[in-house]
Amino acid sequence: MKISLVGAGAIGNLWAGALAKQGHQLHLWRRQPGNTYTLNWQDVHSSREDTFCFDSNQPEQLANSDVIFITVKAFQVADAVTTLLPWLSADTPVIIMHNGMGTEDEVLSLLPDNPVLYATTAQAAFRPDPHSVRHTGNGPTYLGGVNPAGLACSGLAELLHTALPPCHWQTDIHEPQWQKLAINCAINPLTAIHQCRNGELSETRYADELTAVCHEVSAVMTAAGYPIDTVTLRQQVMAVIEATAANYSSMQQDVAHQRPTEIDAITGFLIRQANHFQIATPANTRLWQHIKDLEQHYD
């Protein structure tokens, strides 16, 4: 397939290399100028390395794509989609993958005719430099449509599954999105504030705060139609903390490099939903405020 990928961050590069290894023709649409982009793709488990030279920033390739895959951060999604509009044909499926939630309404108004799909992944990647990516952890990816045309594209789950298994088709993509958001609400702000690896959050000094966050998240998820109790969510958070103990979270990395974080799409989305359902979220609001303060004091 001819695939245009927008957003060459760690996760974007991970998928670009994995899809190219399956023989698909990848074209990268990047903010940085240049007609080509070289990527060194490393698999930490097999120690295998592949080098790719992708075409980049070529509008005619964008127009001829069979599928568009957008992996920018949540706060960049609307701008990214807007820059594609002059070249995008209305029948090209658009897959959007980012941490957090809350971009869907704007995307659907920008793309009223295209099949629109969202994906969420537990695959982990690390970008040691702008031309390298390391696949550092395996986990499931979920894909689902958010409009009728998108819901008719279940075959695209197979495309992702062959590249980086497993990928499951989801008739309600909001369910795995909420589950991922719940984990991110617990792990991302705390690791960013304390500048620690995920594993450090298993220390007893974080236990009460993690429980308070999980309690609020479970109340909001339940009100939104995705019921989960605090104990189950707390256990799921601990399982991810242990499984990713050696990793730095994406928000820890953003704060360490003084980049804008995804706090508004993660904890901010939770707080907006909580306000809608009139649920108090003091623990999450404190974390949200702390990250906003950190962002405001970047050099």
Catalytic positions, please?
A: 180
Closer by beta carbon to ligand PAF, 146 or else 183: 183
Closer by beta carbon to ligand PAF, 67 or else 183: 183
Tell me which of 247, 273, 281, 284 binds ligand PAF, using CB under 6 A: 247
Starting at the edge strand that comes first in sequence, how are the strands of the sheet with 2-6 ordered?
A: 124-129, 132-137, 36-43, 48-56, 25-29, 2-6, 67-70, 94-97, 116-121, 141-145, 167-169
Point out which span in 35-43, 147-155, 224-232, 246-254 binds ligand PAF (CB under 6 A): 246-254
Cα end-to-end distance, the chain, whole Å: 43
What lies within 8 Å, CB to CB, of 6 at 6+ separation is 12, 28, 29, 30, 68, 69, 70, 71, 72, 80, 84
Per-residue x/- mask for ligand PAF, residues 80 to 109, rule CB under 6 A?
-------------------x----------
CB 144 within 8 A of CB 171: yes
Closer by beta carbon to ligand PAF, 130 or else 199: 199
DSSP codes joined into one string, 131-158 = TEEEEEE---EEEEESSHHHHT-TTHHH
249 is an interface residue for ligand PAF by CB under 6 A: yes
Rounded Cα distance, 260 and 75, in Å: 9
198 is an interface residue for ligand PAF by CB under 6 A: yes
Total of chain residues touching ligand PAF, rule CB under 6 A: 11
**Is residue 11 classed as helix, strand or coil in its secondary structure?**
helix
C-beta neighbour count of 167 within 10 angstroms: 21
Tell me which of 42, 65, 114, 188 binds ligand PAF, using CB under 6 A: 188
Burial class (CB in 10 A: 0-12, 13-18, 19+), 143: buried
240 is an interface residue for ligand PAF by CB under 6 A: yes
Point out which span in 28-36, 47-55, 90-98, 245-253 binds ligand PAF (CB under 6 A): 245-253
Tell me which of 61, 103, 141, 244 binds ligand PAF, using CB under 6 A: 244
Structure tokens of 63?
């127009």
Rounded Cα distance, 94 and 82, in Å: 13
Shortest spacing between CB 246 and ligand PAF, in angstroms: 10
Point out which span in 12-20, 106-114, 151-159, 244-252 binds ligand PAF (CB under 6 A): 244-252
Per-residue x/- mask for ligand PAF, residues 147 to 186, rule CB under 6 A?
------------------------------------xx--
Q: Tell me the one-letter amino acid at 208.
A: D
- Interacting residues toward ligand PAF by CB under 6 A: 99, 183-184, 187-188, 198, 240, 244, 247, 249-250
